[in-house]
Structure 1
């Protein structure tokens, strides 16, 4: 796998070179749980040449509640979207957001899983770009259609049964990367049941970045994960509320030298299956 992160200055240099090479695509993936449509912010100011990506409509499918809130899009749907974003085979793709890369990581995971060899996350997000003194442009960017051919299955993922097995295994760790109060079952703002998958530990992915939204160093991440009992040689699964921010944890674990498995359905799928047990404060409930 190529380098995952790119700094604002490195991206600025790529964009200067793009005038001659035209093989760099920048995707604006602004999205928040409480404000999923990031287009107004995109139109008000984005990295020059960046194409807006609607996470809910292009980086997720839509099914029954038992599928979760953000099921993975089909390979054909993702390929159609990638072509609409102007992506060709061999392009370097840079993704960013304004939320510490929490939503950009979803695009990174999907495009990497689909076989794009060089997908980068702008470390520090849009704030890092502007803090470094780089410009924004207003309005929309409509690229010429791309011709990229995608596949799927290059990254590790599991289903609801696999997540249950990871939580129950003695030689694996299942990590819930949501906020601690949701993990403990004290609050649940959107899904039908509160708590976590039995056996899961809690490592909020928001703690994998610094105050500026940059990922911690690989050494810092390794120390954090090792202190929680994660073994680089063992199986590690990750989930969140709906599979979006768990991709962010996949990035952090990969930077630290792990080979994590994503559970895309995450808590939104698990909690919609009444037959699946939940734990709150480490107490199992039927």
Structure 2
């Protein structure tokens, strides 16, 4: 299944008889609520998606900062976005594709045909394509979602993972030099540092499949069991998308990620080495 779509390709598909539904996930750690940015300018007809309340569910600190929504809850919000059975979906954001990747992963998990707009809104604007303002007002949809199409691991499985466990956070957080969000600094014992930013160009677009594959080979991964975590399961989804672009399929997500692990009193390693 194709991971990416370009702005030019999206414009062409939107002009066809069966255009895809566009979901806009404006989100960042600094500004989790991106509704104001969405209303200031978005692709016409796009639907705003709130990562905090629609792509995750409230939980205890020991469950992490962004627990996955239940199947029932995700179906409810997907219908509120106007999705129906058979719809093709394009997810996007303000350019980094971090928020978009979380939506991509969940929709793939639910069995939906979904692609990420590479480069987000800036890529669309670079082609001088139309932009609308104001809130989104989708019709209620009737989609019936599947579930369980993407592999997932929990904390216990992360502790004993039989393959390569990748830490997608910045290197300084992996090494335990800083920890701006979670209660403990460091990384999961045995995890290998693989910052998500290494999969993208400076403008936020994904690197070529060949460049991404080379990057993971240099880290030490080419095949076999692999799982990814980050701070709270958001940028790890971006890493999984990048790996699929490079043909490295089957990576599991640890949704609780470091925010869950560090709140459970589990073993921690600091420094540049996995153990």
TM-score past 0.5 threshold? yes
CA contact 1:128–1:212 (8 Å) conserved in 2 = no
Runs of 4+ displaced beyond 6 Å: none
Superposed counterparts of 1:90-109, under 5 Å = 90-109=86-105
Aligned pair count reads: 274
Q: Deviations over 1:144-167 (max 9, x none)?
A: 11110012100011000111112x
Q: Counterparts of 1:125 and 1:283 in 2: how far apart (Å)?
A: 35
Instruction: Tell me what 1:6 maps to.
Output: 5
| Structure 2 portions without partners, runs of 5+ | none
Q: Counterparts of 1:189 and 1:132 in 2: how far apart (Å)?
A: 37
Superposed counterparts of 1:121-140, under 5 Å = 121-140=116-135
Superposed counterparts of 1:260-279, under 5 Å = 260-274=251-265, 276-279=266-269
Q: Counterparts of 1:283 and 1:131 in 2: how far apart (Å)?
A: 42
Q: Counterparts of 1:260 and 1:157 in 2: how far apart (Å)?
A: 9
For residues 5 and 284 of structure 1, do their structure 2 counterparts lie closer, same or farther at Cα, with a shift above 3 Å needed?
Answer: closer
| Structure 1 portions without partners, runs of 5+ | none
Instruction: Tell me what 1:141 maps to.
Output: 136
Instruction: State the TM-score, normalized to the length of structure 1.
Output: 0.93
Deviation for aligned residue 1:283 = 7.0
CA contact 2:95–2:203 (8 Å) conserved in 1 = no
Q: Which of the numbers 45, 48, 55 marks the counterpart of 2:41?
A: 45
Partner SS state of residue 104, structure 1: helix
Q: Deviations over 1:4-60 (max 9, x none)?
A: 10000011111112xx33x52100100011110000000100011000000000000
Instruction: State the TM-score, normalized to the length of structure 2.
Output: 0.97
Instruction: Tell me what 1:236 maps to.
Output: 226
